[in-house]
């Protein structure tokens, strides 16, 4: 049982993270689950001790016990690493407020796990996906809407939340558009002509008024388009095309980056286009490109 003081402290930290870092509600909810889970374990582990004081007494053995407990209930190394990161963030904040030394928590090593490489589509598969999506809807304006969204994901490297966050004020799309991404970070993204044309075609056919302050992309009943609608139409398209389950809306963003890199784009520019806070995140695409080159080498070289 978590004491009210601990719950209040956790919520105050979450409010701090929301305000200072601009974390999304999805991220905030994940932090809340991770930190409250940790606090509940520690309360039970220390015999039901309440209040903030026990936090200062958490030691290395306590951290090991918590991590062993999490792995024992089936939490993956990747998820545990995320939870530990959240716990460390909370501890930095609460230790500064309460004036204790958080070394035991902050020095805990994150579990090792194999980072997943992005799974982009091939160039022809990405184009086939856009073409096939257009055939899924019964109504012409819905087909045009789906094509416009998918073309923005692949042509501009947008996250689906960023594409669906556009408003009617964006029409007609200019050659560059200002996007507000994760953490409230802004970036300027060039918009290729096919993406502008696709959005214009949708705007002409959309039966709902595209007011400047309302979402650009609408559901059938006129409300904001749910991301699940695009996920579903891509699921149908990939089944018809025989593409793997990794051919998701986010895979089009991966494809954008990988195809730019393969065509000679430099990492720093791609980082800016994607809105990655760290270059190390973008560097994952170099591994993808190298893996593709090695695959070609192994298949084609006579001595491979």
Q: Catalytic amino acids?
A: 159, 182, 250, 253, 276, 285
How many Cβ atoms sit within 10 Å of the Cβ of residue 126? Answer: 23
Cα 236 to Cα 3, 58, 145, 240, 247, distances in angstroms: 48, 50, 16, 6, 11
Task: Tell me the three-class secondary structure of 113-179, residue by residue.
Answer: CCCCCCCCCCHHHHHHHHHHHCCCCCCHHHHHHHHHHHHHHHHHCCCHHHHHCCEHHHCCCCCEEEE
Distance CA 80, CA 67 (A): 7
How many Cβ atoms sit within 10 Å of the Cβ of residue 60? Answer: 12
Cα 83 to Cα 13, 26, 71, distances in angstroms: 15, 14, 12
Q: Which two tokens stand for residue 230?
A: 């695009």
Q: How far is CA 109 from the centre of its chain?
A: 24
Distance CA 37, CA 280 (A): 30
């Amino acid at each position: 049982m978590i004491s009210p003081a601990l719950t209040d402290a956790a919520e105050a930290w979450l409010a701090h993270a929301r305000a200072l870092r601009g974390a999304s509600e999805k991220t905030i909810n994940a932090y809340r689950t991770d930190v409250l889970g940790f606090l509940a374990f520690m309360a039970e582990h220390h015999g039901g001790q309440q209040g903030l004081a026990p936090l200062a007494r958490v030691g290395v053995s306590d951290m090991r016990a918590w991590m062993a407990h999490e792995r024992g209930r089936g939490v993956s190394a990747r998820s545990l690493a995320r939870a530990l990161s959240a716990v460390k963030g909370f501890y930095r904040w609460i230790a500064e407020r309460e004036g204790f030394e958080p070394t035991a928590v902050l020095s805990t090593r994150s579990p090792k796990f194999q980072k997943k490489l992005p799974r982009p589509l091939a160039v022809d598969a990405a184009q086939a996906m856009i073409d096939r999506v257009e055939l899924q809807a019964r109504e012409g304006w819905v087909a045009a809407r789906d094509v416009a969204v998918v073309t923005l994901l692949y042509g501009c490297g947008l996250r689906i939340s960023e594409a669906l966050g556009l408003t009617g004020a964006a029409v007609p799309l200019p050659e560059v558009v200002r996007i507000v991404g994760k953490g409230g970070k802004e970036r300027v993204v060039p918009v290729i002509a096919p993406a502008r044309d696709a959005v214009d075609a949708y705007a002409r056919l959309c039966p709902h008024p595209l007011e400047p302050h309302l979402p650009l992309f609408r559901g059938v009943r006129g409300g904001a388009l749910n991301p699940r609608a695009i996920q579903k139409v891509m699921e149908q398209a990939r089944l018809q095309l025989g593409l793997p389950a990794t051919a998701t809306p986010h895979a089009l963003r991966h494809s954008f980056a990988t195809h730019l890199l393969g065509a000679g784009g430099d990492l720093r520019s791609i980082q800016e286009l994607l809105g990655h806070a760290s270059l190390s995140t973008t560097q994952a695409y170099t591994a993808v490109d190298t893996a593709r080159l090695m695959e070609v080498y192994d298949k084609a070289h006579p001595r491979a």
